[in-house]
Amino acid sequence: MREMVNRVQEVIRLDINLSQLRRNIEIISGLLKREVKFMAVVKGNAYGHGLVPIAKALEEFGCHSLGVVRIIEAIALREAGIKIPIMMLAPIMPSQAAEAVMNELTIMLDNEATAYEVNKCAKGCNKVIQVHIKVNTGLNRFGIEPDKVLEFIKNIKDNCDNLEIEGIYTHFRDPEFNKSFTDTQIAIFNELLGMLEKEGFRPPLAHAAATGGILIYPEAHYNMIRCGILLYGEEYLKGKKILPEGVLPLTSFASRVIKINEVQTGQPIGYGDKHIASRKSRIAVIAGGYGDGVSRGWKNILIHGQKVPIVNYAMDCIEADITDVEGNVQEYDEAVLVGHQGSECITWEEACYGLNSEVDEQLQRITNRVPKNYYYEK
């Protein structure tokens, strides 16, 4: 499909501004001390922006490492020629150890079985594999309990000669809304780091801050941060503006009017009885349905720089009422689902209001048949 996308112009597309990605990195890096390393999180197909093209840009822009969750993402990056460290941010199964070692991935460890298998595979390949120890400070998802960490590290050092403990980290549960709990998590992690330092077992890298931590808790930057949705410039908290000035979205999501119909009063528009015309109406059929990631419940679209209501949905198209649009809408005119047109704008945050969805979730719903157009500003 990728080769076809390069040959054939589609009626719907996702435009991705790599110049803005560079600016976002520069602004976020300005919040950090010079010694803090920048891990760019590209899990979930780079939050829907396209795994390999975004990762190549991030490597070019000087990011220290990339974070993924699925091993298939990590392998795809290595096969695309990515050389910088790639960290698994979730546990791998022991059966995946050979692939992880072959691709020289940085492994998250929170259990001995995986550690032993990775070490075994690394020894067989004559490699030393970097690992980061995950600590559970209250999220209760992955990680070792703090009082078990020292014993775990000693065990790895004693029994796994082909593993190098490069880092230790934790993850915050609710940094934007629960300062008291986050402060407790930071205190638990700091106490652990102090104890490990005293015992001579503190790993070189420590990290805790993802987006909320980066913006709100500079004391939790340590010497590495993990930058996810912030990197892509999206306001991810409904109704709140928390991103630094100049950190902006990379994407615009655009389609085209592919048919205009005149509908009489009382006639249905699209499948079922969801919308019956209450007046004589002009209805634009626009390429892009839930087969592209335009979920049912999307409220508005921009045509001729004006917001118009979407009245029905299908897998391959949506229908919008353009009766009140000023100007002569014609077939193949551009229609913007997310982005600017004229003086109007629809953000991903706004689009999600009617979808019972979050920005990072909705971005990842864009399907592979929507071509991604990467560009730098002139």
83 catalytic residue (yes or no): no
The DSSP element (H or E) to which 15 belongs, if any, is: strand 13-17
43, 47, 217, 222: which one is catalytic? Answer: 43
Cα separation of 296 and 292, whole Å? Answer: 11
The set of residues, in sequence order, having a beta carbon less than 8 Å from that of 346 and lying 6+ positions away, is: 300, 301, 302, 307, 336, 337, 338, 339
Tokens of 314: 């299908």
Angle at 71 between CA 67 and CA 77, to 5 degrees: 65
Cα separation of 137 and 142, whole Å? Answer: 10
Residue 317 in 3-state DSSP?
A: strand
Specify whether the CB–CB gap between 310 and 285 falls below 8 A.
Answer: no
Tokens of 287: 């390429």
Specify whether the CB–CB gap between 296 and 366 falls below 8 A.
Answer: no
271, 332, 375, 376: which one is catalytic? Answer: 271
Specify whether the CB–CB gap between 163 and 118 falls below 8 A.
Answer: yes
179 catalytic residue (yes or no): no
The residues carrying an active-site annotation are: 43, 271
